[in-house]
Amino acid sequence: MASIVSRLRTSDAAFIRNREAYEPLRARVAAAREAAIAGGGAKARATHAARGKLTARERINHLLDPGTPFLEIGQLAGHELYDDVVASGGIVTGVGMVRGRPCMIMANDATVKGGSYYPITIKKQVRAQAVARENALPSIYLVDSGGAFLPMQEDIFPDEHQFGRIFRNIAEMSAAGLPQIAAVMGSCTAGGAYIPAMCDETVIVRENGTIFLGGPQLVQAATGEVVDAQSLGGADVHTRQSGVADHYARDDIHALALVREIVARPRKRATLVPPSTPAEPLYDPAELTGIISANPKEPIPAIEILARLLDASEFVPYRERFGPTLLCGTGAIGGYPVGVLINDGVLYSESAQKAANFIELCSQTGVPLVFLHNIAGFMVGREYETGGIAKHGAKMVNAVSTSRVPKFSLLIGGSYGAGNFAMCGRAFGPRLMGMWPNARTSVMGGEQAAFVLAMVRQQQLERQGKAMTADEAEAFKQPIRQHYENHSDAIYSASRLWVDAVVDPLDTRGWLTLGLAMAAAAPQEETRFGVFRM
């Protein structure tokens, strides 16, 4: 297999400038991560510790096989989203190894408003369950939560993908043979009680764990009965009398050890060993930040990116000379074979047709697809419309939608409009979706949106016999540009779970390798494509 030959010169002024410009982006992401990891405030953490409880992240550390990585999903969820600080969206979720098996772990953070569920908490847990289901992972619920965040109940309770969906997912995954395991390490009230009650197997911690449909306050209000939380639904009641839980744990550490034992039961499972020996790229991934231009309007040389992401920098291009604004080809990451699609300019009919064919080929051979977005969109204009660019783009979108191989999407630059769809945006179900700190996404660029809206306004005014001066037009456009600027960056996107993670360029190979390993353990469905418009 041929290795890529990089033409990069690290002594170039542009390389040095780009690299320096990248550091403030990194610093912003690092600050957001720190806030996410801190959980609730110092007071809440102290109260939590005084009860003999580990934090959500400590619990995960104890649950994982020592020295193995944790593929965190949605770490920045909730960042600056509400008036309250909802660190990590109030729940820590991700994939990690438990007794040699990759598992989805969902741990409520009770230091964040008692672990109650904000809308973003639900969105994050439902997303985590979707990842578990798609990759055939067991789910482990470390429960410590006050249930629905009551002031926002209408954004939590009634709708299709809200609270009830978590319980339905548990039932459906259990029915599909995917283990559902709960450890109740704190509160678990009202609807939340259905998490342990519906799981296949449940552990409960003495003194701290409680499960009940209505807490002591509600019971008193409803029936006048006065009862304390432990007598109502503590570990003793549920493991000795009610049968709502199966295993009695002395403390958090004991509960986590019991969960590890449950996961270790013999079950059918796929192998996790990568098919080929992983190899580092020939070119240093640390050079990536000098390659991404500080000016987002400048292109990012696709081949230089691949040279620093693929094993041994080896890449076999597919139809290299046809539709060259989209590079397609095969290589490996962390020993796992991948088909890569990376933008190197706008999408034309040829590039879209090539991509659709390439996706067909990878689907025939079961090779996972990696989409690296840096895309302004499809080419516009009469020539291209006449050439049927809409139908060629539709073929690519069709192939992306229906191919059943695992797909991974990473925004390395801009990702706009239909270009985002064709490159497997969020709506197209990539197994994981990430953004580099410099990346942006919106329906179109801010400048273009400002221009379009100003034109519409101008036409309205013309119909009334009026016009905008150049200054008025500029005053009209500026807030639109600013709005797009503020609402399209990586942290903004991650806080709303449009993406699973902000991924540092240097960590990209590791992140993709964990994702590929996660997907490799699941059986692959057969692809059946829809009708392609020729």
Report d(CA 388, CA 278) in Å as an integer: 42
Q: Does 505 bind ligand COA (CB under 6 A)?
A: no
Residue 116 touches ligand COA, criterion: CB under 6 A = yes
**Binding of ligand COA at residue 148 (CB under 6 A)?**
yes
Q: What is the nearest approach in angstroms of ligand COA to the Cβ of residue 149?
A: 4
> Count of H helices and E strands in the chain?
20, 15
Nearer to ligand COA, 86 or 517 (CB): 86
> Min. distance of Cβ 116 from ligand COA in angstroms?
4
- Applying CB under 6 A, among 42, 150, 171, 443 the residue interacting with ligand COA is 150
Pairing state between β 101-108 and 326-333:
unpaired
The span of 25-33, 189-197, 367-375, 467-475 binding ligand COA (CB under 6 A) equals: 189-197
Based on the shown chain and the rule CB under 6 A, indicate whether residue 191 belongs to the binding site for ligand COA: yes
Alpha-carbon distance of 129 to 138, in angstroms, equals: 10
The least distance separating ligand COA from the CB of residue 226, rounded to whole angstroms, comes to 15
By the rule CB under 6 A, 147 interacts with ligand COA: yes
Q: Which is nearer to ligand COA, 80 or 320 (CB)?
A: 80
CB hemisphere CA count around 528 (13 angstroms): 1
Q: What is the per-residue burial (b if ≥16 Cβ within 10 Å, else e) of 46-77?
A: eebeeeebbbbbebbebbbeeeeebbbbbbbb
Of 414, 345, 420, 402, nearest to 379 by C-alpha is 345
Q: Using CB under 6 A, which residues numbered 400 to 419 contact ligand COA? A: none
Which residue of 187, 289, 409, 493 would you call a contact of ligand COA, by CB under 6 A? 187
Please state, in angstroms and as integers, the Cα–Cα distance from residue 111 to each residue in 34, 97, 390, 494, 516, following that order. 15, 25, 50, 21, 33
Q: Is 179 left (phi over 0), alpha (psi -120 to 50) or beta?
A: beta
Q: Minimum distance between the CB of residue 187 and ligand COA, rounded to whole angstroms?
A: 4
Q: Which segment (74-82, 113-121, 193-201, 512-520) binds ligand COA by CB under 6 A?
A: 113-121
Binding of ligand COA at residue 189 (CB under 6 A)?
yes
Tell me the closest approach of the beta carbon of residue 147 to ligand COA, in angstroms: 3
Q: Which of 215, 233, 406, 413 binds ligand COA (CB under 6 A)?
A: 215
Smallest Cα–Cα separation from 256: which of 198, 213, 209, 188? 209
**Shortest reach from residue 169's CB to ligand COA, in Å:** 18
Number of residues counted as binding ligand COA (CB under 6 A): 13
- Is the Cβ of residue 114 or residue 419 nearer to ligand COA in the bound state? 114
Nearer to ligand COA, 37 or 232 (CB): 232
Residue 19's SS3 state is helix
Q: Which of 19, 33, 59, 113 binds ligand COA (CB under 6 A)?
A: 113
- Rank residues 125 and 374 by Cβ distance to ligand COA and give the closer one: 125
Interaction of residue 146 with ligand COA, rule CB under 6 A: yes
Report helix, strand or coil for 268. Answer: coil
Tell me how far apart the alpha carbons of residues 74 and 32 are, in angstroms, rounded to a whole number.
Answer: 12
CB contact at 8 A, 203 and 235: no
Of the chain, the end-to-end C-alpha distance in Å amounts to 33
Q: Are the CB atoms for 259 and 183 separated by under 8 Å?
A: yes
Q: Please identify, among the stretches 18-26, 140-148, 464-472, 522-530, the one whose residues bind ligand COA according to the rule CB under 6 A.
A: 140-148
Per CB under 6 A, does 190 bind ligand COA? yes
* By CB under 6 A, residue 260 contacts ligand COA: no
Rg of the chain over Cα atoms, rounded to whole angstroms, equals: 25
Query: Among 39, 74, 90, 114, which residue sits at the site for ligand COA (rule: CB under 6 A)?
Result: 114
Choices 143-151, 280-288, 368-376, 472-480 (CB under 6 A): range interacting with ligand COA? 143-151
Q: Which is nearer to ligand COA, 212 or 358 (CB)?
A: 212
Q: Which of 121, 225, 127, 244 is nearest to 182 (CA)?
A: 244
Contact 143, 186 (CB under 8 A): yes
The residue ranges that bind ligand COA (CB under 6 A) are 113-114, 116, 146-150, 187, 189-191, 215
